[in-house]
Amino acid sequence: MKRPRILLASYRTSSLAALRKSLDAEFEVVGLVSDYRNLLAKGLTAEPEVIVGSPDLPLWNDPTLKRKLKQLIPQTKVLLVSLDDPGSALSPLPARVHGFAVRRTTSANLVDVLNELLVEQAYKAAETAPRSKYTFLGSHDAAASRELTQRQREVLKLLAEGRTMKQTGEILKLTTRTIAFHKYKIMRDFELHNNLELLRLAIREHLVSAD
């Protein structure tokens, strides 16, 4: 399976090294940048699916950068993550403009966060594009949308029990990205918006107990 391309942006060398170590196994890290010029240059040549950056890098607040990213690599998402420091401030932050998302996470679950972002991005693209272009999503009709497949039931049960997508994938011998695919297909089919609603569905389907 082709690995998604990730570009890392931070002015701290140690942060970049830690991020790369977390992501190398599942993603293709196409570059490490710490300034405006290199970010645009590397982004244009590598066309990464996601730019992962530190929120305290000042360049994110530059409106010119946001405009350039949208013009040059419109499909690339920018994920700003604050790693491993619950007390770190996430503000001031860039406005939620095109392509930007902000998360506080840990290096341990950063892979899960990125896979969710990528799968969510694919679903949003599929909603606005001809269905035939996204055949990997499979057929989608009203009847199927209200009935869980056996694989979906397995995934939903494990997630509802509190396991991460990585742990769920290890148990089912699937990649984390495949687990994210199943999770978001369930959410789309059943019109769910968050993990609490996923848990309620699992309870309603008698996959986990409400106790």
For residues 1 and 154, give the distance between their C-alpha atoms in angstroms, rounded to a whole number. 23
Per-residue pLDDT of the chain (211 residues; tens, 9 = 90+): 578 899 998 877 666 777 787 788 888 999 888 888 888 899 899 999 999 888 777 787 787 888 888 888 888 888 887 765 444 444 444 444 345 666 666 666 778 778 877 877 666 655 554 443 333 334 344 434 478 989 999 999 999 999 988 899 899 998 888 888 888 888 888 888 888 888 999 999 999 887 6
Tell me, what's the pLDDT at 104? 67
Predicted pLDDT at 113: 79
The full set of domains in the chain, from first to last, is: 5-108 (3.40.50.2300), 131-204 (1.10.10.10)
Beta-carbon-side half-sphere exposure of residue 50 (alpha carbons within 13 Å)? 27
pLDDT at 15: 67
